[in-house]
Amino acid sequence: MDIPRDYNAAEDLVGGNLKAGRASKVAFIDDAGQCTFGELAERVNRFGNHLLSLGLRMEDRILIAMHDSIDWPVAFLGAIKAGIVPVAVNTLLTPKDYEYMLSDSRAKALLVSAPLKPQFDPFVSRLPFLKHVLVPPFADLISKSSSDLKTAPTTCDDPCLWLYSSGSTGMPKGTVHVHSSMRLTAELYARGVLGLKESDVVFSAAKFFFAYGLGNSLSFPLALGSTAVLMAERPTPDAVFKRLTERKPTVFYGVPTLYAGMLASPAFPDKDVLNLKTCISAGEALPPQIAKSFKERTGVDILDGIGSTEMLHIFLSNRPGDFRPGTTGKAVPGYELRLVDEKGADVKQGDLGELLIKGPTAANLYWNNRGKSRNTFVGEWTRSGDKYTLDADGFYAYGGRTDDMLKVSGIWVSPAEVEAALVSHEAVLEAAVVGKEDEQKLVKPKAFVVLKPGKQASVDELQTYVKSKLAPYKYPRWIEFASELPKTATGKIQRFKLRV
List pLDDT tens digits, range 335-375. Answer: 999 999 999 999 999 999 999 999 999 999 999 999 999 99
Alpha-carbon distance 137 to 109, whole Å?
A: 16
Percentage of residues of the chain with pLDDT beyond 70:
99
- For residue 137, whether the previous peptide bond is cis, meaning omega lies within 30 degrees of 0, is yes
Average of pLDDT values for 13-35?
Answer: 98
CATH fold of 406-498 reads GMP Synthetase; Chain A, domain 3 (3.30.300)
Select from 202, 287, 204 the least CA-distant residue to 251: 202
CB of 380 within 8 A of CB of 374? no
Name the pLDDT band for 166 (thresholds 50, 70, 90): low
Please name the amino acid found at residue 122.
P
**What's the mean pLDDT in 471-495?**
89
Q: What is the pLDDT of residues 323-345, one digit of tens each?
A: 999 999 999 999 999 999 999 99
The residue-averaged pLDDT of 417-433 equals 95
Confidence of residue 201 (pLDDT cuts 50, 70, 90): very high
pLDDT level of residue 169 (50, 70, 90 thresholds): very low
Domain boundaries, the chain: 1-401, 406-498
Mean pLDDT for the stretch of residues 482-494: 87
416 vs 6, which has greater pLDDT? 6
Q: Which residues are bridge partners to 254 per DSSP?
A: 281
Split at pLDDT 50, 70, 90, the class of 403 is: confident
Is the pLDDT score of 51 beyond 50? yes
In SS3 terms, the chain reads as CCCCCECCHHHHHHHHHHHCCCCCCEEEECCCCEEEHHHHHHHHHHHHHHHHHCCCCCCCEEEEECCCCCHHHHHHHHHHHCCCEEEECCCCCCHHHHHHHHHHHCCCEEEECHHHHHHHCCCHHHCCCCCEEECCCCHHHHCCCCCCCCCCCCECCCEEEEEECCCCCCCCCEEEEECHHHHHHHHHHHHHHHCCCCCCEEEECCCCCCHHHHHHHHHHHHHHCCEEECCCCCCCHHHHHHHHHHCCCCEEEECHHHHHHHHHCCCCCCHHHCCCCEEEECCCCCCHHHHHHHHHHHCCCEEEEEECCCCCCEEEECECCECCCCCCEEECCCCEEEEECCCCCECCCCCCEEEEEECCCCCCEECCCHHHHHHHEECCEEEEEEEEEECCCCCEEEEEECCCCEEECCEEECHHHHHHHHHCCCCEEEEEEEEEECCCCCEEEEEEEEECCCCCCCHHHHHHHHHHHCCHHHCCCEEEECCCCCECCCCCECHHHHCC
User: Quick check: 109 pLDDT over 60?
Assistant: yes
**What value does the mean pLDDT of the chain take?**
94
Note the CATH number of domain 1-401. 3.40.50.12780
CA angle 210, 214, 215 (to 5 degrees): 125
Please determine, for residue 65, whether its predicted confidence score (pLDDT) is greater than 60.
yes
First to last CA, the chain: 48
Burial class (CB in 10 A: 0-12, 13-18, 19+), 180: buried
Asked if pLDDT for residue 167 goes beyond 70, the answer is no
Q: Is the pLDDT confidence value at 454 over 60?
A: yes
Q: What are phi and psi of 446, to 5 degrees?
A: -125, 135
